[in-house]
Amino acid sequence: MISLTKLDTSPYFPDPSLALSEPNGLLAFGGDLSTRRLVRAYSQGIFPWYSHEEPIMWWSPNPRGILPLDNFYCSTKLAKLVRQQRYQVTVNMAFEQVIDACATIQRKGPGAGTWITHEMVAAYIKLHHAGHSHSVEVWDDKRLVGGLYGIASGGLFCGESMFHRLTDCSKLAMYYLVNILRAENSPFIDCQMQNPHLQSLGCIEVPRVQFLQYLQQLNQQTFSSNCWQKRILSHQQ
């Protein structure tokens, strides 16, 4: 018989080792998306993932998808795009626009609907205002054409979602994120679960127990005070 923890008003979670193997990583359900609970969740390698009209479900999959920064694949095409400086790239200049785009943009393929509910959008905007969630934006003139967002937990960036309206603009955002994190000596990006797109960028899978060991070390670190300041990373030619 499957036993699954129902969360109450406290922000505490069961040990990730108790997560189900099928569906992979499902650990608990219920609770809320308060900033306090979300901060605690990410510090323990747990994240919410559910659809509209479902209860909040909390996950810690095994294996875990991570993108080691030294493993990031910058294709010849992407490198050329970086050199051309065709777009402007910024940090934390339009977080709400980025998460809204990630939640609403049309995607191709089976199961392409969004999992980012209105409740999640509101919760991650609160996280952003509290200094925990951040975005990288790509602009064509004044039009937002790509970007990504995620959560900074200790010395780790936990990627949540990315989008593009013009070819390779989400990859361009990832390129600049990787450079930000390299400057901070952060070893990898938490991608949660591997997929073909992330794999093409260098994402690998590691056992959950190994990921949690890394996380325990990274929880003792912090990003520098200016790491996530609003700023322009690349000026458009």
User: Do the beta carbons of residue 7 and residue 50 sit within 8 Å?
Assistant: no
Q: Determine the pLDDT at residue 108.
A: 57
pLDDT band at 110 (very low <50, low <70, confident <90, very high): very low
- pLDDT higher than threshold 50 for residue 221: yes
CA 24 – CA 22 distance, rounded (Å): 4
Nearest to 199 by CA among 71, 93, 83: 71
Distance in angstroms between the alpha carbons of the first and the last residue of the chain: 61
User: Do the beta carbons of residue 13 and residue 41 sit within 8 Å?
Assistant: yes
Q: Determine the pLDDT at residue 52.
A: 84
Question: Angle 169-183/76-84 helices, nearest 10 degrees?
Answer: 80
pLDDT band at 237 (very low <50, low <70, confident <90, very high): confident
Q: Which residue has the higher pLDDT, 48 or 235?
A: 48
Read off the pLDDT of each residue in 54-78 and give the average, rounded to a whole number: 97
pLDDT tens-digit profile of 68-95?
Answer: 999 999 999 999 999 999 999 999 999 9
* Domains of the chain, start order: 5-62 (3.30.70.3550), 65-234 (3.40.630.70)
Q: What are 198's two structure tokens?
A: 């992330």
pTM of structure: 0.94
